[in-house]
A and B are shown apart, each in its own frame.
Chain A
Amino acid sequence: MKKPVIIVVCIILAALVTLTVETNERSEDLFEPGVKGFAPFEDKASKVSFEEVIKSWSEQGIELYLPKSLPEGLKPTCVWVETNSEGKMGAIALFIYDSQGKENISTAELVIEVTHRITIPFKSETAKGTFTKINNWDVYIDEDAPVAWKEYHDMYKTTSSIIIDVQIGQLNYWFRASPTLQLAEIIEMIENMEKTAVS
C-alpha cells in the first residue's frame, strides 16, 4: 500500500518543481496592469530633421550611414535625438520613416535606432534569429521580435516586428520594421546604406 502513495507524492513533487521552473521563464502574456517599464524616449529627446542630426553628428566626427533609397511610398519623417539642456545632441537617435507621415516611435512603419555599440548586441547562444553579412557588415535578423507598444499592436494587429541589426564601424543600426514592410525590402535598404554628408 505504501508504494503507490510514495509514487503519487513523487509525481506531485515533480509537478511542483516543473511549475516553479516555468514561473522563472519569460512569458509572452504580459500582465498589463502590473507591468512597470520605463519612461518614453520622446520625453528626453528633441524632434529634429534628418539634416540637423547629420550636421551635428558630422561636426562631432560621428560617421553616420543611412539608406540611399527607400521602398515605394516610404518617406523620412523626423528624428528623435537625445538632447541636453543646452540643446546639444547626444549619442542616441531614432530615425523615423513612414508612408503616412507618422512621427511616433511606437507606430512608425520603420524606426532605425542608432546608438554607439561596439558589436551587434545579440549572441548566437541566446538569440533566436539568424546572423549574416551584408556589404561585409555584421547583421542579425529576427523576423518575429516582440514590441512593447500597445499603439503598435492596435495599428498593425500584431505584437511583433522584424528586427534587423547592423553594425557599421562604431555605430549600431537597429531596424524595427512593421508588417507593412517586407524583409527583402529592408535588406535592400541596408544594401544601399551610404555614409551621410552635410549638404
Chain B
Amino acid sequence: MIFPVLAAHKYAGYYYYGTAGSPPQGVSAVIYTIDKLFPTPGEHFYCQWVTIVLSYSNGYWVQVGYNKGFDSPSLTWYTEIYDSGGYELDWQNETYNPSSGNTYHYYIYSSDDFTMGVSGKFSVTNETSPTSYVDFQAMCETTDISIDIDGTDFDEISYKQGEDWDFWTRHVVKEDWPYDVTEWEDYDFDAEGSWP
C-alpha cells in the first residue's frame, strides 16, 4: 500500500486564519492558468488549487484545481478527496481543459455534501466522512523546485457564509523556498520563483 508524502512538496499561497465560532461553508478563488515547461514532467507536477481541510491530524482534505505533469502531461482540471473512506483523484477532462493565460473560478462548498468545480465548466458533488471541516487553503504546489511558477496569480479568494461569498479578510502566508509570494490583499496574491 502506498501513501502520500505531503510534506515533501513545495507550496506558495495562503492559509485561511480562523477565529472562534463555526467556520464558513466554502472556499473559492479566481486562478490564472500558467503553462510551464519543466525538465521532468513524467516524474513531477505542479498544480494550483483551493482546498478544504477536513482534519489536520489524520490528513484529510477535499480539493479542486488544475494540474500539469506526472500522469497528466497537459493542463487538466481535477478533484481530489482523502477521508476516512480512502483516496480519490478524478480528472475532470471529459468536456473541457483549462487554457493557458485564462482565469477560472474554482469553488468548493458544503451543504450536506461537498460540491466543487470550475464555474461554467464542471461541477461534482461528493459525500465525505467526516462531513465538516476545519480550515481552507489556496495554494500553488510543486513537487520539484526546478518548476518555475512565475505568473501565478490568485484573486478574489473568498469564503462562503450563508448564501454570500465574501473576500477573505485574513490569511497566513505560506512560502516555501525558492518560491516568493507577493501579498496584495488578504484575498489576492501572486507567486513566482524556481531553482536554479
**Chain A interface residues toward B at CB < 8 A:** 24-41, 43-44, 60-62, 82-85, 90-92, 94, 105-106, 111, 113, 115-118, 121-123, 126-129, 142, 145-150, 153, 159, 161, 163, 165, 170, 174, 176
Contact = CB atoms under 8 A, between A and B. Distances in A.
Nearest to A35: B4
Interface stretch (B9-17, B31-39, B150-158): B9-17
Interface stretch (B84-92, B95-103, B159-167, B188-196): B84-92
Contacts of B17: 44, 82, 84, 90
A31 B127 contact: no
Contacts of B65: 36
B55 A174 contact: yes
Nearest to A175: B57
Interface in B1-43: 1-7, 9, 11, 13, 15, 17-23, 43
Contacts of B87: 26-31, 35
B126 to A, nearest CB: 9
A173 B70 CA distance: 38
Nearest to A104: B7
Contact of A146 (B71, B81, B86, B135): B86
A28 to B, nearest CB: 5
Given A38-B6, A92-B134, A127-B84, A147 B59 contact: yes
Contacts of A85: 172
A37 B18 contact: no
Contact of B2 (A29, A43, A129, A163): A29
Nearest to B7: A40
Contacts of B121: none
- Interface hub of A149, A159, A170 (most chain B Cβ within 10 A): A149
A16 B125 CA distance: 23
Nearest to B128: A126
Contacts of A27: 86-88
Contact of A34 (B13, B23, B45, B56): B45
Interface string B67-92: 10011000000101111111111100
A116 B20 contact: yes
A32 B3 CA distance: 5
Contacts of B130: 121-122, 127, 165
B148 interface: no
Given A39-B11, A43-B174, A150 B3 contact: yes
B141 A36 contact: yes
A3 to B, nearest CB: 34
Kindly name the residue among B43, B54, B128, B131 whose own CB sees the greatest number of chain A CB atoms within 10 A: B131
Nearest to A113: B57
Closest 8 CB pairs of A and B: A148-B59, A26-B86, A121-B130, A35-B4, A37-B6, A121-B132, A91-B18, A176-B57
B182 interface: no
Contacts of A41: 56, 135
B1 A28 contact: yes
B168 to A, nearest CB: 12
A30 B130 CA distance: 19
6 contacts: A33-B143, A82-B172, A84-B17, A92-B135, A113-B134, A148-B4
Given A35-B82, A127-B84, A146-B58, 19 more contacts: A29-B87, A31-B87, A32-B3, A33-B71, A35-B80, A36-B78, A37-B59, A38-B51, A39-B141, A43-B174, A82-B15, A90-B19, A91-B23, A92-B134, A117-B132, A126-B128, A145-B84, A153-B3, A163-B84
